[in-house]
Structure 1
């Protein structure tokens, strides 16, 4: 199987981190709780070769406003009110990150996608995240998405949504503090808020491979530098 590790040009590769036996048992327990399928042959069963994860939480109304409903109708042109959704669980080096590591990565199974739509409301997003990031985790589809769900459940998401039909303006620091206050043990060097030219786009939370919060200076350096960002309201049809 061809493995194509592509590293973005932001620095040297960090040291590889290998799951402990305890972590493997924990993943097995997560799979049982999540009702996931048996591991596929898309990748090996042990995550190696990267240093930590970034859980990327996307503010869906910003994405839909910026890209337009046609960019992702399942997520944007819907009767459901999506606010923070999981954009992905991204393997990271201390500097840089791998992507598209398996040229032969299998397409995600439909029943697996069905179980993820509550936190990733787009089959296209699920498929893309598996090919781009999951293929670099060293995990099977079932293991990777069970870990992604466990990472999401680790985080208490604060309420920052504006009133229906209204926009809200906050500083990136205020958004970060809302997450810190809602999550004991989460510190300011574990989190990065990102934006486009005016809108909140993502909150990125750094975690070890056993899903403990950790610092990530390189991720933090890419945080939003704007004094304030606009938070569009969730839309429903």
Structure 2
């Protein structure tokens, strides 16, 4: 009996965090994806996630309308989930600020996911992504889940991820905050719009979780040259009066 209890305890400790408790997709990179569910609007909605209707494996690779670049605020991740998942981004003093969550092919209504193709990410590409993603598991997951739908080979897709990340100017208030801040989601958007003159309302979303700033998501044209309007994505932003923007350690 003692041996059985010990085995059960070991499994519980080693089990990955449930996707609903995570900020970055890599918290669920070993979990099966929830099945798509029919939405009242006639599309599909992914259970418990960002409400961008999903067509898993549907559509030809490269057939989408625009990209969504999602930048995750690392201090929020480290305060809520990182303590349960050892990560270099959460080492005291590291505090990388924004890290790439993903560059997601998106349609005006819904998005493609898990498209056909070689899901293996070559080490020659993965080894050059350390400054983009907080861990290699997330990069692999993003390639399988979203990159395959870009219609590009791994090197080309991740070159686009880098170009998209580099195209966003982070506002001064979020570059190196000296302490926790409380900001309205709308004010976070306004700060990004002030720092990126071509960015307009309705072209991005600010997401939050448990009262904390989670991610900034930007809608970009397929050639990454322009911001584009994305009503469905913008509607998924948080609507709270204010959120905490933790400064990290």
- TM-score with structure 2 setting the length: 0.72
Match of 1:209 in 2: 222
Structure 1 position 12, deviation (Å): 6.3
Match of 2:90 in 1: 76
- Tell me the alpha carbon deviations over residues 180-224 of structure 1, each in whole angstroms, 9 at most, x when there is no partner: 001111101111100012000000000110111100000011011
Match of 1:230 in 2: 244
C-alpha separation in 1, matches of 2:37 and 2:205? 19
Match of 1:136 in 2: 149
Contact map agreement 1:7 1:96 (CA 8 A) in 2: no
Match of 1:92 in 2: 106
Contact map agreement 1:61 1:233 (CA 8 A) in 2: yes
Q: Does 1:196 align with 2:213?
A: no
Contact map agreement 1:156 1:179 (CA 8 A) in 2: yes
Structure 1 position 103, deviation (Å): 6.8
Q: 1:187 to 1:51 in 2, by over 3 A?
A: same
Which one of 179, 198, 204 corresponds to residue 192 of structure 2?
179
Q: 1:221 to 1:70 in 2, by over 3 A?
A: same
- Tell me the alpha carbon deviations over residues 120-168 of structure 1, each in whole angstroms, 9 at most, x when there is no partner: 221111111111110111111001000111111111111334744x311
Match of 2:119 in 1: 105
Q: 1:49 to 1:110 in 2, by over 3 A?
A: same
Query: Gaps spanning 5+ residues in structure 2: where?
Result: 1-34, 44-59
Give the number of equivalent residue pairs.
196
More relative contact order in 1 or in 2 (CA 8 Å, sep 6+)? 1
Contact map agreement 1:7 1:97 (CA 8 A) in 2: no
Match of 1:20 in 2: none
- TM-score with structure 1 setting the length: 0.75
Match of 1:170 in 2: 183
Q: 1:72 to 1:104 in 2, by over 3 A?
A: farther
Higher Cα radius of gyration: 2
C-alpha separation in 2, matches of 1:9 and 1:195? 25
C-alpha separation in 2, matches of 1:191 and 1:205? 4
C-alpha separation in 2, matches of 1:207 and 1:163? 27
Contact map agreement 1:185 1:213 (CA 8 A) in 2: yes
Match of 2:13 in 1: none
Q: 1:47 to 1:147 in 2, by over 3 A?
A: farther
Contact map agreement 2:89 2:95 (CA 8 A) in 1: no
Moved over 4 A (4+): 6-13
Q: 1:202 to 1:78 in 2, by over 3 A?
A: same
Structure 1 position 75, deviation (Å): 2.6
